[in-house]
Amino acid sequence: MNILLVVIAVIAIVLLFTGGFVSSLNFLLWVGAVLLVLAIIVWLVRMISGRKSPV
């Protein structure tokens, strides 16, 4: 689950930069922002609940 969270965060950051640099792809800015917010929420819920992923 941690790897998935990292992948989502990286994709969100890439989309944020792409959306910022290319004005015709402005919707990617919003997609990246939403993915980044979702990744942060999932991380916070995991930290608050104290659940550990099975290894």
Amino acid letter at 3? I
Q: State residue 42's pLDDT score.
A: 87
pLDDT value of position 25: 67
User: Per-residue confidence at 17, pLDDT binned at 50, 70, 90?
Assistant: confident
The alpha carbon of 41 is separated from its chain's Cα centroid by a whole number of angstroms, namely 9
At 52 the three-state DSSP class reads coil
Q: Give residue-wise pLDDT tens across range 46-55.
A: 888 876 655 4
3-state secondary structure of 34: helix
Domain extents in the chain? 2-49
Q: 10 pLDDT exceeds 60?
A: yes
Cβ partners under 8 Å of residue 19, min gap 6: 25, 26, 27, 28, 29, 30, 31, 32
> Residue 28 in contact with residue 19, Cβ under 8 Å?
yes
- Summarised one tens digit per residue, pLDDT across range 19-47 is 666 665 677 777 788 888 888 888 888 88
